[in-house]
Amino acid sequence: MLIPQIYQIQTITQNTSDIFTLTLAAKDGGKGMAFLPGQFNMLYHFGFGEVAISISGDPSNQETLVHTIRAVGSVTKSLQKLNVGDEIGVRGPFGSKWPLSKTDCDVLLVAGGIGLAPLRPALFDLAAHKDQYRKITLLYGSRNSSDVIYHDDLEQWQKLGINIELTVDCADMDWRGHVGVVTPLIQKNIIDPQNTLVLICGPEIMIKFAVHELLGAQVDEKNVFISLERNMQCAVGFCGHCQYGPYFLCKDGPVFSYAQLQHWLMIKEL
């Protein structure tokens, strides 16, 4: 996992003005990569550097790797300039997974912005095993309607019976969904607080307020899980850049239980 394997870009999708999705396949028909929902890879653009990106594809498909990326730094902006057929290095998969072994329960997923990407493999898995769960709900907040990603997936999941509620901070005249932050939608969608599995990924300020709403609804803390992704640079806990309290996000996470993060989430500027 320390030596990048060569993958070739199969397709490129421009999701928004600054978010794009790469579909990769191992070079020369090489062996694909098995991964678990919630894990991430290190993508290496030769001559530019390496960046940690969540795997956002279907875990049942090992032939291709899918990564949805926001172009915000030098490496991600360089990846955005690549073309179909170009090659990059891939290390992984790394990190912990979403705990989807709990069944016969409600499932609530709370996503903000590109935080939907790390939750997408979990949604594929939940949709494929929908009969093992009760109500599955996705609450997804974006800055505006043009920042909503995965339109086709959202439509397909809704057809499969997953309840999806979208909200935007700033609505245009054509928007017909909720307006405002995503957290006020949480308590309205908690039916059985002691038997609801919650998966959260998004901006850290959203995570903190989401947890506040969940605890206010008496959701069992043991069933709340959070993905934190920031400053991950080596993926194996050597460099120390992603240290968060006693944890290294790349090695101990990125998926944590609320119990693990409870103390550290309350510390300002950590």
- All structural domains of the chain with their residue ranges: 5-94, 106-227
User: Class for domain 5-94, per CATH?
Assistant: mainly beta
Q: 115-119, 175-179, 201-205: which range is least confident on average?
A: 175-179
- Model confidence band, residue 31 (pLDDT cutoffs 50, 70, 90): confident
pTM value?
A: 0.95
Provide the β-strand partners of residue 243: 248
Q: Find the radius of gyration of the CA atoms of the chain.
A: 18
pLDDT at 1: 67
Which tokens sit at 44?
A: 């290496």
pLDDT at 244: 92
The answer to whether residue 180 scores a pLDDT higher than 80 is: yes
Report the CATH fold assignment for 106-227: Rossmann fold (3.40.50)
The set of residues, in sequence order, having a beta carbon less than 8 Å from that of 70 and lying 6+ positions away, is: 18, 19, 76, 114
Compute the average pLDDT of residues 86-95.
Answer: 96
pLDDT digits (tens, 9 = 90+) for 64-82: 999 999 999 999 999 999 9
